[in-house]
Amino acid sequence: MTFYKRPAVTVDAAIYRIKNSEIEVLVVKRKNDPFKGYYAFCGGFVDYGEDPKDAVLRELKEETNLDGKNPILFDVRGAPDRDPRGHTISIFYSVEMVDPNQEPKGGDDAAEAMFVPLSTVLGLNFDKDLNAVINSQTLPMAFDHLNGFKSFYTWLKKENLI
């Protein structure tokens, strides 16, 4: 029998809300290496035998104490060098909060969990039509998650959610 090296599969949860006329997104501050102290989507590894949609809701609960529902795929990233621990393929889902008024609380391997303005994550200012007008990163992001947040913003616009 031939054995093949296989990449690990991870999932990431993207949640947004509009507060005081500003788009906010959920981020976690990583408690452990790699990228300890950096910001990221909440997420983690898919367990053997686990459906990725179940995994993203589990990781959301473990890292933020938020209950999620209706995960919708918006991106997949799999560059072999995106994670220093080895080749991972990440599945990015947009997730709705069960209780939109609940605030996140860091848990498991997330030192902190919070909503921050999307403009802070991307280093962007938005005009009145929510079009990005300046581009410079302001939060230190783990892995390739800055590109993931850019993809999430593009997806939100395409789906007419913002």
The catalytic residues are: 112
CB-CB contact of 25 with 104 (8 Å): no
Ramachandran sector of residue 108 (left: φ over 0; alpha: ψ -120 to 50; beta: rest): left
Eight-state DSSP code of residue 77? E
Backbone angles phi, psi at 52, to 5 degrees: -55, -35
CB-CB contact of 140 with 38 (8 Å): yes
CB-CB contact of 40 with 28 (8 Å): yes
The two three-digit tokens of residue 121, written as one number: 């994550």
CB-CB contact of 149 with 120 (8 Å): no
CB-CB contact of 47 with 91 (8 Å): no
Eight-state DSSP code of residue 100? T
